[in-house]
Amino acid sequence: MSELLARRGAPQVYSLPRQLFRKFVHWASYNFILTSKRTRTVRVGDLQLVVLPSVFHPGIFLTSRIFSAFLRSLDLAGKSVIEVGTGSGILALSAARAGARSVLALDINPAAVSAAQKNAAMNGLSAVVSARVSDLLSAARADEIVDVIISSPPSFSGEPRDMADRAWHAGPSYRDITSLFDQAYRHLANDGVMYVLLSSDTDVVLMETLAREANFGWQEIERHSIWVEAFMIYRLAKRPLAA
């Protein structure tokens, strides 16, 4: 645990141009997308999506498209799924399209939950996808044990400005998501798996440490690189608890 605490106190250091670029991208995204008062519509693949104000836009940010395509490549036939941090619901809907029998979409932002519900109905998936307001998995009942958990958590540490900014910032030292893996472990079946998408701008070492301390294995299974950033998908399998 002392190693973990040390990691939490050692933020990543980027070159000045990289820091300035990150600040510009966040400023533009926050001011022109996340805090926009407009309701937008977008088509991603065969999904038609409504994006309400303050909700992460799946047509603009690459992470949604990358993770959605990955989920559609899986055989989730008959599986039960929980998504943590659903935003527009694109990943929950993608899991349903991949054959999942039930998907519970969770988000701390009520607008995201509303968007996920609207999008499930618009795409004919209301019988499979349901949504709840939830801080991580707090709204999942203790007896809701599922086969798969998916999450694309906020990439950056730092205090979020408001509810919309929680899609980007997870609190100082990633405070708001440090219990994600412990909670996920409790809601996964013994042979269940968790899939997580992270950015190269995330403190990946800290995320891996938290996952391993929650008794998960950790395996990078896919990577997508763009000019200034990479996006990695990790597969986390439950390890048996020590006797």
DSSP H or E segment with residue 43 = strand 40-44
Q: Is the pLDDT of residue 217 over 70?
A: yes
CA distance 118 to 99: 20
CA distance 80 to 92: 11
Evaluate whether residue 84 is within a structural domain. Answer: yes
At 233, the pLDDT band (50, 70, 90 cuts) reads very high
Evaluate whether residue 74 is within a structural domain. Answer: yes
In the chain, the number of structural domains is 1
Answer whether 104's CB lies under 8 Å from 147's CB: no
Evaluate whether residue 242 is within a structural domain. Answer: no
User: Residue 109's domain spans which residues?
Assistant: 2-237
Q: Which residues contact 89 (CB under 8 A, 6 or more apart)?
A: 49, 105, 112, 115, 116, 117, 119, 120, 129, 131
At 16, the pLDDT band (50, 70, 90 cuts) reads low
Give the residue from 218, 181, 195, 185 showing the smallest Cα distance to 76.
Answer: 195
pTM, to two decimals: 0.89
Evaluate whether residue 32 is within a structural domain. Answer: yes
Evaluate whether residue 213 is within a structural domain. Answer: yes
CATH of the domain at 138: 3.40.50.150
Evaluate whether residue 65 is within a structural domain. Answer: yes
Evaluate whether residue 243 is within a structural domain. Answer: no
| Phi, psi (degrees; rounded to nearest 5) at 146 | -125, 170
Average pLDDT of the residues in 69-97: 98
Evaluate whether residue 199 is within a structural domain. Answer: yes
The predicted-structure confidence for 165-201, as pLDDT tens digits, reads as follows 999 899 999 999 999 999 999 999 999 999 999 999 8
